[in-house]
Amino acid sequence: MKTVRIIPRLDIKGPNLVKGIHLEGLRVLGKPSDFAKYYYEQGADELMFMDVVASLYERNSLHDIISETAKSIFIPITVGGGLRSISDIKEVLRVGADKVCLNTAAIKNPQLIKDASRMFGSSTIVVAIEAIKESDGKYLAYTDNGREFTGIDVFEWAQKVAEFGAGEIVITSVDKEGTGQGYDLELISRITNLVGIPVIAHGGAGKQDHVVDALKGGNISSAMISSLFHYHFIKENESKASSLEGNVEFLNQKRSFHTFEPCSIEEVKRTLKSNQIDCRL
Amino acid sequence: MDNNFKKVVIIDYQLGNLFSVKQACDTVGVNAEISSNREDILNADALILPGVGAFIEAMNNLKKFGLDTAIQTKVNGGTPIFGICLGQQLLFTESEEFGAGKGLDLISGIIKRFPETIKERKVKVPHIAWNTIFKLNQEWDNTALKDLNNNDFMYFIHSYYVKPKDDDCILTLTNYDGIEFCSAILRNNIFATQFHPEKSADKGISIYKNWALINKLL
């Protein structure tokens, strides 16, 4: 059987779950562990935690959140954000992560992909590629949540990442991320046709049909989703949303919701099944 | 002896996520400790051999700590062992991979890599997915899988799989994109899975519980 995975992505800033648009303009949504537990119970296939400011300040504050989550959640957990060295990777694996996600450090030092995959196994090493479509139609790779220009061609980089031993690629369309306009289908299909390793599509899911569009055809292995599920969680659990700090007004107004049709993981999976896309349900 | 004192050793040879294996043991009440000490292994009531990564590096590490012979001695003496993922592969005779050499040879068979293509169609490797497990000849009633149904989903993440010499040890099969492979084995005191029960939600945790119950570790 060939199944796809649905992976909720939790962007973390300090103790909070946040969400931005184009990976920027972050809003606080609530406590990460509340969301993680809910997604686990709803049938998430994996979870992805991304420390979205770690790379900027060169630190990683996720350890407490990871070890707390890993105690009661028995699905794979991938952790990214600010991991720069073998010892950084070792540390997040030690506190309970199953896989790590590299971006900035991998571009600065591609040897890290080789060393890490040899040491921890290819399947432990996920590389995130943040792509922005330039005005001439070229896709270039960025780092630090789409802030830093590298000038590197996304497709050449994806091939190198696979060659260097990464086990998976997360391809983010920074242009689509947080917009709810749908995945960049050209970008994700070109990447997955180029490499032999699984590819996870990220950035743009605004309704269930977008997930179907990305996963039909069988070449994309997984869809990574945040806003769609986060907004659904908030609707279902209003009291838990943003219990930590600020932005309550933003949440109550639900202004960000208008481009999204929030839904649960189970609803997405049922829709996939009805479109003959296999998944764990 | 009081079963509370039954000690399970999770073998640490510096590869893989032992945290979640320990967490799964704690959740079902198994008294488990992580160790890379040969004496601890020789004194254990049962062993868990986890692991993620490369076969060759894993065997080298086991040898470096003197754990290979300790495991062989214990398992040949009847101590229950539970191998997970790479830990299952290590129980077999040898890897097909060039230069990878011999395994622990507790079960006869080889380790194979998924092909990159089948009939000119590309196969994504590693196989990273929730996939179904189903029966071959053995029933699951009195095994660690007793709470599972045929075709339940388990979590897989691997590029290699085992091919036992004799089918009789095959407890489950799985089909990935047209390739059918052995995804769990059981022979006497040796139980092992290619999938990760500790990453397979409630049904996966039931495997830990039932393995412990069957081997009187709880």
Residue B209 sits in a domain of what CATH number?
Answer: 3.40.50.880
| Least-confidence region, from A49-53, A197-201, B30-34 | A49-53
**B131 and A74: CB-CB below 8 Å?**
no
**A76 and B157: CB-CB below 8 Å?**
yes
Task: Name the pLDDT band for B96 (thresholds 50, 70, 90).
Answer: confident
What phi and psi, each to the nearest 5 degrees, are found at residue A126?
A: -105, 135
Is B129 in contact with A3 (CB distance < 8 Å)? yes
Q: What is the mean pLDDT of residues B23-45?
A: 96
Domain boundaries, chain A: 5-274
Q: Secondary structure of chain B: what % helix, strand, coil (to 5)? A: 30, 35, 40
Is A49 in contact with A67 (CB distance < 8 Å)? no
Q: What is the pLDDT of residue A63?
A: 86
* Average pLDDT of chain A, as a whole number: 89
Q: Indicate the SS3 state at residue B120.
A: coil
Q: What is the pLDDT of residue B73?
A: 98
ipTM above 0.85, yes or no: yes
Residue with the two structure tokens 């997930």: A211
pLDDT digit string, tens, across residues A115-132: 999 888 899 999 999 999
Task: Name the pLDDT band for A256 (thresholds 50, 70, 90).
Answer: low
Is A97 in contact with A70 (CB distance < 8 Å)? yes
Reply yes or no on whether the pLDDT at B2 is more than 60: no
Q: Which of B65, B186, B175 shows the shortest CA–CA distance to B127?
A: B175
Reply yes or no on whether the pLDDT at A154 is more than 50: yes
Q: What is the DSSP letter of B102?
A: B
* Cα–Cα distance for residue pair A32/A13, rounded to 1 Å: 10
* Average pLDDT of chain B, as a whole number: 94
DSSP string covering A135-194, please? TTS-EEEEETTTTEEEEEEHHHHHHHHHHTT-SEEEEEETTTTTT-S---HHHHHHHHHH
Is A93 in contact with A66 (CB distance < 8 Å)? no
Architecture (CATH level 2) of domain A5-274 = Alpha-Beta Barrel (3.20)
Is B40 in contact with B110 (CB distance < 8 Å)? no
Instruction: Dig out the tokens for A72 from the structure.
Output: 């009661």
Q: What is the mean pLDDT of residues A139-161?
A: 93
Reply yes or no on whether the pLDDT at A239 is more than 60: yes
**A76 and B205: CB-CB below 8 Å?**
no
Q: Which helix (H) or strand (E) holds A269?
A: helix A265-274
> Is B86 near chain A, with CB under 8 Å?
yes
Alpha helix segments (H runs only) across A216-247? 227-236
Altogether, the residues listed in chain A come to a count of: 281
Task: Name the pLDDT band for A78 (thresholds 50, 70, 90).
Answer: very high
Instruction: Dig out the tokens for A13 from the structure.
Output: 């800033």
Bridge partners, residue A171, by sequence: A129, A201
Q: Is B104 exposed, middle or buried (0-12, 13-18, 19+ CB in 10 A)?
A: buried
Instruction: Dig out the tokens for B6 from the structure.
Output: 């039954």
Task: Name the pLDDT band for A244 (thresholds 50, 70, 90).
Answer: very low
| Least-confidence region, from A14-28, A146-160, B45-59, B130-144 | A14-28
Q: Which helix (H) or strand (E) holds B107?
A: strand B107-113
Q: What is the pLDDT of residue B157?
A: 96
Q: What is the mean pLDDT of residues A211-215?
A: 97
Instruction: Report the chain A residue with the minimal C-alpha distance to residue B123.
Output: A196
* Cα–Cα distance for residue pair A243/A232, rounded to 1 Å: 16
Instruction: Dig out the tokens for A77 from the structure.
Output: 């957990």
Among B residues 10-49, those touching chain A with beta carbons less than 8 Å apart: 15-17, 19-20, 23-24, 27
Residue ranges making up the domain that contains B43: 3-214
Q: What is the pLDDT of residue B17?
A: 72
Task: Give the minimum alpha-carbon distance from A147 to chain B in angstroms, rounded to a whole number.
Answer: 30
Question: What is the signed CA dihedral for B123, B128, B134, B139, rounded to 10 degrees?
Answer: 130
Q: What is the DSSP letter of A213?
A: H
Q: What is the mean pLDDT of residues B20-32?
A: 95
Q: What is the pLDDT of residue A254?
A: 54
Q: What is the pLDDT of residue A19?
A: 85
> Is B122 near chain A, with CB under 8 Å?
yes
pLDDT digit string, tens, across residues B174-194: 999 999 999 999 999 999 999
Task: Give chain B's domain count.
Answer: 1
* Cα–Cα distance for residue pair B194/B90, rounded to 1 Å: 11
Q: Which of A67, A97, A37, A76 shows the shortest CA–CA distance to A265?
A: A37
> Is B150 near chain A, with CB under 8 Å?
no
Q: Indicate the SS3 state at residue A266.
A: helix
Contacts of A124 in chain B (CB under 8 A): 52-53
**A167 and B126: CB-CB below 8 Å?**
yes
* Cα–Cα distance for residue pair B194/B175, rounded to 1 Å: 12
